[in-house]
Amino acid sequence: MRRQSAVQKPEISTRDRILNAAVLRFSRRSYEETGLRDIAADVGIDVSYVHRCFGSKKRLFAEAVEAAIRPVHLPTSGTGEVACSLAQQVFARDATRSHGNIGPLDIVVRSFASEDAARVVRQFILKDFINPLAEKLDQPAASRATLIAAFLAGVRIFRNVLRIAPLFKAERSELEGLIANVIEEMMKVDPVAQGHRRLTG
């Protein structure tokens, strides 16, 4: 008897299928336009099962945001390593985007029109990016971390959503180095000293 060599992959749970469908829906349509019934239909289940797994649309959206963006893992070493790591993550999902899949910022852009959705995204960014990064910075740590978050979001929107040519067509190595340099300066510069030099210079 011939042995079966193929190893079957474990089936994705229904809960994970719902979450994957939600990421796709929320990334392609606004929060207000997306209903739980639509997501249930995409998975081929009754909407009551979506309620049983996630409780509410807001909770499902929160998990979809985390799944789409993914929390940032920061190095424990110095500013240079943190800056390089953050710069690299700008390009981390380029491969999936080139194959026609959604990008991590799509769900954020679609959430702008809804206060409920924007609140969820805001809480995620604070909890999973700004606050952890601020712990590694000198004062004013929260302001520095928020400016870095805004800078990275702007780069990714210009590059991946709007596809502004100088960013979209630039060589990764060149752009990555420039981004890392800007982040490192934002992390280490003394704003009080800089302001004093400008006033007295």
CATH of domain 14-67: 1.10.10.60
The residue ranking higher by pLDDT, 101 or 137, is: 137
Are 65 and 114 in contact by the 8 Å Cβ rule? The answer is no
Q: How many CA atoms lie within 13 A of 119 on its CB side?
A: 5
- Mind listing the pLDDT tens digit for each residue in 44-71? 999 999 999 999 999 999 999 999 888 7
- Mind listing the pLDDT tens digit for each residue in 133-172? 999 888 899 999 999 999 999 998 898 888 899 988 888 8
Q: Which long-range contacts (CB under 8 A, 24 or more apart) does 47-50 make?
A: 49/14, 49/18, 50/18
pLDDT at 12 over 70: yes
User: Rounded distance, CA 9 to CA 7, Å?
Assistant: 6
The residue ranking higher by pLDDT, 190 or 26, is: 26
User: Rounded distance, CA 124 to CA 61, Å?
Assistant: 11
**For position 22, what pLDDT does the model report?**
96
- pLDDT > 70: percent of the chain: 84
- pLDDT > 90: percent of the chain: 56
